[in-house]
Structure 1
Amino acid sequence: MTLRTALTAAALAATLTLSPSARAWGPLGHRLVADLAWDGMTPQARAAALDLLAGEADPSLAGIASWADELRANDPDLGRRSARWHYVNIAEDGCHYDTARDCPGDDCVVAAIDAQVAILADPGQPRAKRRQALKFVVHFVGDIHQPLHAGRADDRGGNTHQINIDGRGSNLHALWDSGLLGSAGLGEAGWLARLRQSTIAADAPARPGSPAAWAEASCRILNSPGFYPPKGTLDPAYGERWLPVVERQLRLGGRHLAGVLNAALGG
């Protein structure tokens, strides 16, 4: 299947019909980041993660990767308190992250990753708190690699940028969450095989870096020419251009998550 065949307007429309507009990557993307991270984890870090996840319905990184998005339904209080931890708005400020300006009260994805990693890495913390921190870390590292989670406040991370695909209304955030991934017609196993066959570009950082740096890099993608399509009917060529970027961000997310978990869990 070629990209041109897969990324038809009809395929995108069918995918976006099922796409929640407020979830970075959607469940598939988050699972893929977690699967790729597992590939890069040390035996010690894997064992520690599995120990913390014992008793979960799906005791795997992929199995808990979307947990933080499900809090609004399953734990409304924690869902409200953690709502702003999924994103940071820096695109209107030249993609430069400034803690005081962009994350007052440490209420953004950059600070949330740092805070939850610190809890996860502390063996003196209660087991339940470390397990929760692991769930947050897996999810938020995925979030920060979706460009629209380091985007603009004035359009709510692309949620109000309306587009039309094959006669169906949607928005840019939904397109990046799962529309582009779903349009290729691959399930989790197919996508994972495809992502594992590719390598990250040589200019990718060898070390995990910092959440602030990841946010700034994601934001620069969003500020690239052509990222924002004209409102209205979406040209199918948009998918052909940007799907490779989606793939690279998923691979980077997995690589960075593995580095974070190796460091936090004694790898």
Structure 2
Amino acid sequence: MGHRAIRNRFLIAFAALLALLPAQAQAWGFYAHRTTAAIAMENVRPETRAGIARLLRAAPELGVEGCDLASLEDASTWPDCLRKDYWRWGYTFAWHYRTAPVCEAYEPRANCSGQNCILAQIERNQLILSDESLPANVRLEALAFLVHFIGDVHMPLHSGDHDDRGGNDIDTAYGIAPGLNLHWIWDGPLAERAITSSPVPLVRRYTAAERAELGGGTSADWGRESWETSRDFVYPNAFDRPACEGEDLPDETALTQEDIERAIPISQKRVTQAGIRMAEYLDAAFAPGALPEPERD
């Protein structure tokens, strides 16, 4: 059998395997989300870890069948599991992103009417989580949304857009694997490779200096970072040209191995930042009186 025939058989088998994967396993909402939660648990205060454990005992009160919620890693993927019950949870689906055109000025308050975007929901759910007067199940739901959205906002294409639904409309080959899209690649295979190929485990206790370098900021800051990363790296890397110069970008492209190698450290950093910042937000939420009053429009 010739090399071309072998390659074609491999591609067909690979595409079939991808099609069989459950939706949750294909998304950043599975492997990378759980990694960010594991990083956070390694870096929160003991009091925060104990507070999380207490809230997790209220999981049966949420009345959600088929969605595990026994750990912070479970919590980080729980909001994606809710997609199977659109009739009950559909109103939350717009909370997972807030894309903004990469070739226009960034406005953190745009496209977020009624707090229906990720930036507002991160701050809202942290405030709910911090309110000890609320029932445990209410705070647990907020915990799950908070940790999930902190992960989502760090994926560049949940913030950056080039009139393509954050890369969803761009047919993109991933090395020799065809038939994907740019958003899907950054959500799944690229994030997984970035995590597993790190020379130093991403899930570990970080030093104070590392936490100072990687942490800090607010949801609006993190959204801007992701938007800038989309504009300055994701789109240029995918199309070998600046995102906002010349003709419109085509609706298909391919990431070479060189493109993928350049993207790996970017993805690693975003996953790590999400975990460290998640730890900071959780520590603040479990420290009564540490949170400011919410901003109002």
TM-score, normalized by length of structure 2? Answer: 0.74
Match of 1:224 among 225, 232, 246: 232
Note the residue ranges of structure 1 that are not aligned, 5 or more in a row: 1-8
Q: Give 1:97's aligned residue.
A: 107
Match of 2:79 among 64, 68, 74: 68
Match of 1:156 among 165, 183, 192: 165
- Aligned partners of 1:25 and 1:177 also within 8 Å: yes
- Aligned partners of 1:164 and 1:233 also within 8 Å: yes
Q: Computing the radius of gyration over CA atoms, which structure comes out larger, 1 or 2?
A: 2
The residue type equivalent to 1:257 in the other structure is M
> How far apart, in 1, do the equivalents of 2:44 and 2:199 lie?
16
1:45-83, CA deviations, whole angstroms, 9 ceiling, x for partnerless residues?
11001100126545211122111111110x323431011
Q: Give 1:243's aligned residue.
A: 264
Q: Which has the higher contact order (CA 8 A, sep 6+)?
A: 1
Note the residue ranges of structure 2 that are not aligned, 5 or more in a row: 1-9, 60-67, 240-251, 289-297
- Aligned partners of 1:37 and 1:257 also within 8 Å: yes
> How far apart, in 2, do the equivalents of 1:122 and 1:264 lie?
8
Q: Give 1:5's aligned residue.
A: none
SS of alignment partner, residue 259 of structure 2 = helix
Match of 1:195 among 186, 193, 202: 202
1:69-117, CA deviations, whole angstroms, 9 ceiling, x for partnerless residues?
11110x3234310111001122346462331x23122110000111111
> How far apart, in 2, do the equivalents of 1:44 and 1:192 lie?
31
Identical-pair percentage: 31
SS of alignment partner, residue 179 of structure 2 = strand
1:202-238, CA deviations, whole angstroms, 9 ceiling, x for partnerless residues?
7965753110001001111000145351323331211
Shift of 1:25: 1.5
> How far apart, in 1, do the equivalents of 2:41 and 2:227 lie?
26
SS of alignment partner, residue 160 of structure 1 = coil
Match of 2:189 among 174, 179, 183: 179
Aligned length: 252
- Aligned partners of 1:19 and 1:174 also within 8 Å: no
SS of alignment partner, residue 235 of structure 2 = coil
1:43-122 equivalences in 2 (<5 Å): 43-54=46-57, 56=59, 57-73=68-84, 75-92=85-102, 94=104, 96-99=106-109, 101-122=110-131
Q: Give 1:210's aligned residue.
A: 218
1:140 and 2:161 matched: no
TM-score, normalized by length of structure 1? Answer: 0.82
